[in-house]
Amino acid sequence: MSGHSKWHSIKHKKARVDAQRGRIFTKIIKEITVAARLGGGDPEANPRLRVAIAQAKAANMPAKNIDNAIRKGTGELPGVVYEDVTYEGYGPGGVAVFVEAVTDNKNRTVAEMRHLFSKYGGNLGENGSVAWIFERKGLIRVPREQYTEEDLLEIALECGAEDMQTTDEFYEIYTSFEDFHKVRNAFEEKNIAMESAELTMIPQNTIKIEGKTAEQMLKLLEVLDEHDDVQNVYSNFEMEDAEMERLVSKE
């Protein structure tokens, strides 16, 4: 498993803990608000909103919070106006880093991003500097205890998925950006319980790191992910599983 994928799995576990503390609610509410503002408040006609609502339900967010966030996005309730922004740069060892954020103050957020990149051995770049390295894909996680790998792979390919990988806890099914909603809907129709379903960014090439560089890189990813405005962080690092586990266990 690549370092990027391994980090994604670790971050996913961490998100479930954060949800219990309520921290993840803030990020999901921002995403729902922006999705509703840009595409309207009907999830059936707004795929981005539909995904955000699914994430909210997976985090056990109360229905009233979801409804209020939608109504703030559509202007039915007063609220802060959030905007989508992306930041691109390089971490320790020349690793590419792509950040998706939602902010009500672009000047503040870009200054804070520049500070974090610099503090942890990286540098913020221009728009377009690393985006070309990544490809947007759909990612669906299914708990392993439900199916054998062979059975689920057959179902996934039948539904239009591109690939499937196995982690300690989940099967990770990858789709093209265009087919993501079709595959997810097909899984729902087949009553396949999904742990999560989201759009993600997959690196087309990777950089292997270790030692101090690897430690700095994970710290940069962690502080970026914990920033209130940041929704997602993607990178193209490669790291031995043993090294990853060692560094994560030090925290």
Catalogue all structural domains in the chain, each as residue range(s) with its CATH number: 3-74 (1.10.10.200), 83-132+206-249 (3.30.70.980), 134-203 (3.30.70.980)
| Burial degree of 234 (CB within 10 A; 0-12, 13-18, 19+) | buried
Per the listing, tokens 């792979």 go with: 153
Q: Is the pLDDT of residue 174 over 50?
A: yes
DSSP track, 87-123: EEEE-GGG-EEEEEEEES-HHHHHHHHHHHHHHTT-E
For 25, phi then psi, to 5°, come to: -55, -40
The whole-angstrom separation of Cα 67 and Cα 243 is 43
The radius of gyration of the chain's CA atoms, rounded to the nearest angstrom, is: 18
Q: How much helix, strand and coil, in percent to the nearest 5, is found in the chain?
A: 55, 25, 25
Sign of CA dihedral 57, 63, 66, 67: positive
More confident residue, 17 or 229: 229
Q: What is the pLDDT of residue 55?
A: 87
Sign of CA dihedral 22, 27, 28, 32: positive
Mean pLDDT of 7-36: 74
Q: What is the pLDDT of residue 1?
A: 43
What confidence tens digit (pLDDT) does each residue in 86-129 have?
Answer: 999 999 999 999 999 999 999 999 999 999 999 999 999 999 99
Q: What is the pLDDT of residue 105?
A: 95
